[in-house]
């Protein structure tokens, strides 16, 4: 067994609680490419390889839901060649990987606005969702043209429509109602958000969902974020107390669930 495998095994032994839902902000592809002296798109392609590793790691540890921040609403403001490269890479990923995910029993979903993507890319998303919709092994969510503020705004818009139609009074609107209208309302909220690349912010990602999510920031660039790095994040998560604003005599371990 190699040193890396030995270290991974040692971290596995420290993982006492596994989060049901992990969200990842995959940052650092461009810096990785610059460091390696290769074109920017090569960094994004290396990032896809890291996604494959995360899928294996999540299956290994029993993570039920993995949400990946692939393309934010703000990413449209990047240089046009980079945007085109990102969208081409997403299209290629969907053409090449979805059937393998289906064989592994993984359900694939997308959140965000799709209208600005090409008709072909939108079709690939629909096909991926349709093919895998009945799978129960795990769920992979790809956030594309997604922003947390947009998510809350569209939820508020749905409730406002009910008010206009006379089905709901403004004073009756609750946080629980908004919770039912945001993306992924049928899935457990993220227990752990990992951001790679060294920045310590969530960049408009799942703002509503992260109310009590544990945050883990690492300097490791996304293409270098290995299964070992993931095991370290899980071990760190397992050492935390999640109180949800409450206070218990002995505290709550990271796996504590208010809905349990």
- Whole-angstrom distance, CA of residue 46 vs CA of residue 32: 9
Residue 110 CB contacts under 8 Å (≥ 6 apart), including other chains: 125, 128, 129, 141, 142, 143, 144
* 104 classed as catalytic: no
* 29 classed as catalytic: no
Nearest to 64 by CA among 110, 17, 20: 20
- The DSSP bridge partners found for residue 110 are 142
- 21-25 sheet: strands from edge to edge: 106-111, 138-146, 65-72, 21-25, 192-195, 214-217
- Whole-angstrom distance, CA of residue 110 vs CA of residue 45: 20
Q: What share of the chain is helix, strand, coil (3-state, %, to 5)?
A: 50, 15, 35
- Of 6, 12, 27, 257, catalytic: 27
- Of 12, 75, 179, 204, catalytic: 75
- Whole-angstrom distance, CA of residue 40 vs CA of residue 32: 8
Reduced to 3 states (helix: H, G, I; strand: E, B; else coil), residue 85 is helix
Q: Which sequence positions are flagged as catalytic?
A: 27, 75
């Amino acid at each position: 067994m190699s040193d890396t495998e030995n270290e991974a095994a040692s971290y596995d032994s420290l993982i006492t609680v596994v989060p049901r839902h992990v969200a990842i902000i995959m940052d650092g592809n461009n810096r990785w490419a610059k460091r390696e002296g290769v074109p920017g798109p090569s960094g994004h392609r290396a990032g896809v390889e890291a996604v494959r590793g995360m899928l294996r790691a999540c299956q290994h540890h029993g993570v039920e839901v993995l949400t990946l921040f692939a393309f934010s609403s703000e990413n449209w403001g990047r240089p046009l060649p980079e945007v085109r490269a990102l969208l081409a890479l997403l299209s290629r990923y969907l053409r090449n990987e979805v059937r393998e995910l289906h064989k592994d029993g993984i359900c694939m979903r997308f959140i965000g606005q799709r209208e600005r993507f090409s008709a072909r890319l939108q079709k690939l998303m629909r096909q991926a969702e349709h093919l895998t919709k009945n799978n129960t092994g795990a769920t992979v969510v790809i956030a594309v043209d997604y922003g947390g503020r947009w998510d809350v705004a569209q939820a508020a818009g749905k409730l406002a429509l009910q008010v206009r139609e006379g089905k709901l009074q403004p004073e009756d609107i609750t946080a629980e109602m908004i919770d039912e209208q945001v993306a992924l309302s049928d899935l457990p909220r993220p227990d752990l958000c990992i951001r790679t690349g060294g920045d310590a912010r969530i960049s408009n990602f799942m703002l509503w969902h992260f109310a009590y999510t544990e945050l883990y920031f690492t300097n490791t660039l996304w293409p270098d974020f290995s299964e070992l790095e993931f095991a370290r994040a899980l071990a760190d998560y397992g050492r935390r107390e999640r109180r949800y604003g409450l206070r218990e005599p002995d505290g709550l371990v990271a796996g504590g669930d208010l809905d349990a």
